[in-house]
């Protein structure tokens, strides 16, 4: 099984988030699963890959050439696919992954999460969509999603396509 992880690449976040990513990578490897990421080597994105590799896991990165050019690429990945655009990156990750876990992150992470969630709802794929949030970063988002459903902006059943989890074990269980 291949698990795609969406997460922050910000170098200015609290180290607890980087530690969470490393723990998740190690747990993916412990299950003999492969990790798919956006191919970067810094912050949470790098940590999840390092955790997987330290645990003997296989890592696959997908990164646009523009990010490779600014020395953002994690060349230690077992596979590093270099694409031209962010759209190509997301499409390849969607194609090769069997499940998706979203860790705390910013606008880019949220954009990836929303695209994969909407894709599941529209039946472009039928893969698990998981949020792993032990620190409550996404609590306001969770409340917003519920509010949008109450206001009929989100159709019944769409909210249930997201597995909201608070620890690594729950997140991995939601993937299988």
Residue 22 has pLDDT above 90, yes or no: yes
- Average pLDDT rounded to a whole number, residues 110-129: 96
**The two three-digit tokens of residue 5, written as one number:** 């992880």
Band the pLDDT of 176: cuts 50, 70, 90: confident
- Average pLDDT rounded to a whole number, residues 12-25: 98
Asked if residue 59 lies in contact with residue 53, where contact means CB atoms within 8 angstroms, the answer is: yes
Percent of the chain with pLDDT over 90: 95
Q: Can you count the helices (H) and strands (E) in the chain? A: 7, 7
| Residues 6 or more apart whose Cβ sits within 8 Å of residue 140 | none
Helices (H), 31-162: 43-54, 65-69, 86-96, 107-121, 139-150
Question: For the chain, what are the domain ranges?
Answer: 2-175
Residue 71 has pLDDT above 80, yes or no: no
Asked if residue 63 lies in contact with residue 40, where contact means CB atoms within 8 angstroms, the answer is: yes
What is the helix (H) or strand (E) element at residue 36, kind and residue range?
A: strand 34-37
pLDDT at 106: 95
pLDDT at 94: 96
How many Cα atoms are found within 13 Å in the side-chain-facing hemisphere of 164? 13
Band the pLDDT of 69: cuts 50, 70, 90: confident
Band the pLDDT of 70: cuts 50, 70, 90: confident
- What's the whole-number average pLDDT of the chain? 96
Residue 100 has pLDDT above 80, yes or no: yes
Residue 87 has pLDDT above 90, yes or no: yes
Q: What is the CATH number of domain 2-175?
A: 3.40.50.450
Taking the C-alpha atoms of residue 35 and residue 43, their distance in angstroms, rounded to an integer, is 16
Pick from 122, 28, 153: nearest CA to 37: 28
Phi, psi of 89 (to 5 degrees): -60, -50
Question: What's the burial of 104, exposed, middle or buried (CB within 10 Å: 0-12/13-18/19+)?
Answer: buried
6: three-class secondary structure by DSSP: strand
pLDDT at 11: 92
Pick from 90, 28, 82, 88: nearest CA to 53: 28
Q: Does the reported pTM lie above 0.85?
A: yes
Cα-atom radius of gyration of the chain, to the nearest Å?
15
Higher pLDDT, 69 or 91: 91
- Average pLDDT rounded to a whole number, residues 140-154: 96
């Amino acid at each position: 099984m291949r698990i795609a992880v969406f997460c922050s690449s910000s170098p200015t976040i609290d180290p607890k988030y980087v530690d969470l990513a490393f723990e998740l990578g190690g747990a993916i490897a412990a299950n003999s699963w492969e990790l798919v990421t956006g191919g970067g080597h810094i912050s949470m994105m790098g940590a999840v890959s390092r955790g997987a590799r330290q645990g003997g896991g296989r890592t696959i990165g997908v990164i646009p050439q523009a990010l490779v050019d600014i020395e953002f690429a994690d060349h230690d990945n077992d596979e590093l696919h270099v694409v031209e655009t962010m759209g190509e990156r997301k499409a390849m990750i969607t194609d090769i992954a069997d499940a998706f876990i979203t860790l705390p992150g910013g606008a880019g992470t949220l954009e990836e999460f929303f695209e994969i969630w909407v894709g599941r709802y529209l039946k472009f794929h039928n893969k698990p969509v998981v949020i792993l949030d032990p620190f409550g970063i996404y609590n306001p988002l969770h409340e917003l999603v519920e509010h949008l459903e109450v206001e009929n902006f989100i159709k019944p059943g769409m909210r249930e396509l997201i597995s909201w989890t608070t620890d690594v074990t729950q997140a991995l269980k939601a993937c299988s």
